[in-house]
């Protein structure tokens, strides 16, 4: 019962012209949209954002490494099948920079519950700013920003333009109550409008970053879009991988790519 609540939220697989929402986690379900309740991002506003060809999002951890969700990839090893699109908010723009993957490293021990992070090595570096990740829990509260090209409504298709929205922190206790105890508090972070819903990430946003400004005014990634019940439903906040928990492991893994 507990596992049935781990509704996979944000992964879409693109086949031919059709978009199909699929659960890549053992017992997951649908997720928040590109940002249900979001608005269009301006060109250059979040230059670290990456769209992945398997229907997920990500952020540039390094010029040639994308940080995304473990449930977006099938495992670790050499992989040239993923195409990362960067540099644009409009996926159809002729200015889009597309780079193929060479290798994937999925979080060691990932089994569908927690540890939802992965790194994708790119064939060549891209000329875009990277997104610094949180190394402590100091920024794990407050109001966060989410962005993505996922569905704008539950069950909808991916978006052409990057959407953005702000979501407030939801305590571990409140999130645990919402999901019947299926949260992994030491590895996951929740955000959203618990009482009203209406704003969230969704199918196709998996792997994308949740971020906020640090004390110096720079963007800092605190979460990775992971799972939830539906999209923007009242009573069910979005659940994100708590980046600070895995900062050291991510850095060590990146050094091997």
Q: Which residues are marked as active site?
A: 71, 116, 206
Q: Is 90 helix (H, G, I), strand (E, B) or coil?
A: strand
Q: Are strands 238-242 and 188-191 parallel, antiparallel or unpaired?
A: antiparallel
What is the chain's alpha carbon radius of gyration, rounded to the nearest angstrom?
16
| DSSP letter string, 183-222 | --TTTEEEES-TTT---EEETT-TT-EEEEE-TTS-EEEE
Residue 94, Ramachandran bin (φ over 0: left; ψ between -120 and 50: alpha; else beta):
alpha
Over the range 146-175, which residues count as b (16 or more CB within 10 Å of their CB) and which as e? bbbbbbbebebbbbebbbbbebebbebeeb
- 99 forms beta bridges with 84
The answer to whether the beta carbons of residues 243 and 254 sit under 8 Å apart is no
């Amino acid at each position: 019962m507990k596992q049935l609540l781990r509704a996979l939220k944000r992964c879409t697989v693109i086949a031919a012209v059709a978009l199909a929402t699929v659960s890549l986690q053992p017992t997951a379900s649908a997720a928040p949209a590109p940002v249900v309740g979001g608005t269009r991002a301006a060109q250059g506003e979040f230059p670290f954002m990456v769209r992945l060809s398997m229907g997920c999002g990500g952020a540039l951890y390094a010029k040639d490494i994308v940080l995304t969700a473990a449930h977006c990839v099938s495992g670790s090893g050499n992989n040239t099948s993923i195409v990362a699109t960067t540099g644009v908010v409009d996926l159809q723009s002729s200015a889009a920079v597309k780079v193929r993957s060479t290798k994937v490293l999925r979080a060691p021990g990932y089994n569908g519950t927690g540890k939802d992070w992965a790194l994708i090595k790119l064939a060549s570096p891209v000329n875009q700013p990277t997104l610094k990740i949180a190394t402590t829990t100091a920024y794990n509260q407050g109001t966060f920003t989410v962005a993505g090209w996922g569905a704008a409504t539950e069950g909808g298709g991916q978006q052409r333009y990057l959407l953005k929205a702000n979501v407030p922190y939801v305590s571990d206790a409140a999130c645990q109550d919402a999901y019947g105890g299926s949260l992994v508090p030491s590895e996951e972070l929740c955000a959203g409008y618990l009482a009203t819903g209406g704003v969230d990430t969704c199918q196709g946003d998996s792997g994308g970053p949740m971020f906020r400004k640090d004390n110096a005014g720079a963007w800092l990634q605190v979460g990775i879009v992971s799972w939830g019940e539906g999209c923007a439903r009242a009573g069910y906040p979005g659940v994100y991988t708590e980046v600070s928990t895995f900062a050291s492991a991510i850095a060590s893994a990146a050094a091997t790519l």
